[in-house]
Amino acid sequence: MKPKTKSGGFGQSAKLGLPIVFCICSLFFFAGFFGSWLLNNDIPVASGRPRSRILASVAVEEPEFQAVSNGETGESSATSISSQILSWKPLAIYFPGFASPKQCEKIIEMTKENLEPSTLALRSGETTENTKGIRTSSGTFISSSDDQTGTLGLIEQKIAKVTSIPASHGEAFNVLRYEIGQRYMSHYDAFHATEYGPQKSQRVASFLLYLSDVEEGGETMFPYENGLNMDDAYDPKKCVGLKVKPRQGDGLLFYSLYPNGTIDPLSLHGSCPVIKGEKWVATKWIRDEVFY
């Protein structure tokens, strides 16, 4: 025997169900529409606080640069390189992530077999003997044309971009290694004519690319930053003033000359002794003329 269908069975409920489904769908549609309108219009909610735009917190969009037409020696695309002014006195600018860890390792790898004790440009009366202890790192010079991997060439171009001084004004890279206790006492990179005699060209700026982290010590220091410590009592061994901790891949640019071409006395700088670990850095000195 077939079970009796109850009155108001499937056929009946289907008739009633359609309007109900329609009402529920409409309700969801209007709720969704109204909700998204609220979110996109920063309408204050019951608490009285404005609602933050959810979309804004999800995606931080990088600005897109529209390149304009370039001259024969220019570049066809626009780029941005992150930087932080560490000091105006002297002018010192920091570039986080200027080179990749892989590039840094490559530079260490290609130079580590050629290191020799670092030397100094001597003033009259100075000898290797009586300047012992001023600069105790070891290092080597390497130019981008000696690097078949192209790593140094890329970095050189990036330095030219951030300094707006052509790569042809740069000396070869001086790759340095500081072991525990090794340092470079405070000094100037620019040459005072009265101390060093006439020069073919002058050093305008220095770019340091940190090739390694250092566990402790090894900071690049600017003892006279903003006029600090500028009395005769300053001992160039003393690690004071603005100190920059080396971080692999980061760059530090500082200017030895003012825009009028005279030496900035506040550009005195040096390397604090390494206390723990090892410091690797590639220095590029940049001249006011093409350097041969």
Ligand X SMILES: O=C(O)CCC(=O)C(=O)O
| Minimum gap (Å) between residue 139 Cβ and ligand X | 8
Please provide the distance, in angstroms rounded to a whole number, between the alpha carbons at the two ends of the chain. 109
Query: What distances in angstroms separate CA 259 from CA 113, 165, 205, one per listed residue?
Result: 39, 13, 11
Residue whose CB is less far from ligand X, 152 or 208: 208
Q: CB 187 → ligand X: shortest distance, Å?
A: 7
Nearer to ligand X, 167 or 244 (CB): 244
Q: How far is the CB of 178 from ligand X (least distance, A)?
A: 7
Query: How near is the Cβ of 266 to ligand X at its closest, in Å?
Result: 14
- Nearest CA-CA partner of 249 in 116, 82, 79, 77: 82
Residue 156: helix, strand or coil by DSSP? helix
Instruction: Give the CA distances from residue 185 to residues 95, 135, 155, 181, in Å, rounded to whole numbers and listed in that order.
Output: 24, 6, 27, 12
Report the residue number, 202 or 220, with the smaller CB distance to ligand X.
Answer: 220
> Cβ 270 to ligand X, closest distance in Å?
6
Residue 53 or 132: which CB sits closer to ligand X? 132
Nearer to ligand X, 106 or 269 (CB): 269
Cβ proximity to ligand X: between 75 and 216 the closer is 216
Type of residue found at 78: A
Minimum gap (Å) between residue 272 Cβ and ligand X: 8
Give CA–CA dist 230/29, Å, rounded.
73
Q: Whole-angstrom Cα distance, residue 34 to residue 191? A: 71
Shortest distance (Å) from residue 167 CB to ligand X: 18
| CA 185 from centroid of its chain's CA atoms | 24
Residue 98's Cβ-count burial label (10 Å; 0-12, 13-18, 19+) is buried
Q: Which positions touch ligand X (CB under 6 A)?
A: 176, 184, 189, 206, 208, 220, 269-271, 281, 283
By CB atoms closer than 10 A (0-12, 13-18, 19+), residue 141 is: middle
Which candidate, 192, 195, 199, 197, places its Cα nearest to that of 256?
Answer: 192
Return the amino acid letter for 34: F
Which residue's CB is nearer to ligand X, number 106 or number 284? 284
